[in-house]
Structure 1
């Protein structure tokens, strides 16, 4: 019995890690695209958390509630004096 004739273009990829990556983009572009967007989102989240930690977290100049801090506490240096600000 004869084999059926192949119709279309057959794409071949090398048997390497880059070939696997290219084959993934060729066969399942939706999954590869969303995976790349997920990696970008994870990178942005890590960068945001690093910036949040570097700037000492949620420490705004004006708060809705009072915070009592002893003068010898190291966090006292982080708070600004609301009387002497650059705002009029």
Structure 2
């Protein structure tokens, strides 16, 4: 008596790619399936990193203290900000 297997074997159609179950495998699978989204996500992360670095440098170098401003600022000599002013113009006011 001959017994036939009634469940057909799945046929492989196209190119089958297997990825590992790790985080790197997930990244590789994402690059394989949705490269546009993975590429734009990487560029967004790079942009966020550069933005954070730029803001950090701006505040580290006291970026709000500019030599030439649109409006004038009068600072008393006893103010702690007076020592940070770049190229001050001293004026004697006589009241």
Could you say whether these structures have the same fold, taking a TM-score greater than 0.5 normalized by the shorter chain as the test?
A: yes
- SS in structure 2 opposite 1:60? coil
Question: Does residue 33 of the first structure (1) align with residue 39 of the second (2)?
Answer: yes
What is the distance in 2 between the residues matched to 1:37 and 1:62? 35
What is the distance in 1 between the residues matched to 2:10 and 2:26? 28
What is the distance in 2 between the residues matched to 1:59 and 1:65? 12
- Computing the radius of gyration from Cα coordinates, the structure with the larger value is 2
After TM superposition, where is structure 1 displaced by more than 3 Å over at least 4 residues in a row? 1-5
User: 1:4 offset after TM fit, Å?
Assistant: 6.5
User: 1:32 offset after TM fit, Å?
Assistant: 0.4
Aligned-residue CA RMSD in angstroms?
Answer: 1.8
Gaps of 5+ in 2: 1-6, 90-95
What is the distance in 1 between the residues matched to 2:19 and 2:77? 68
The correspondence for 1:11, drawn from 17, 20, 27, is 17
Matched residue pairs, number?
A: 83
TM-score of the pair, normalised by structure 1: 0.80
User: 1:6 offset after TM fit, Å?
Assistant: 2.6
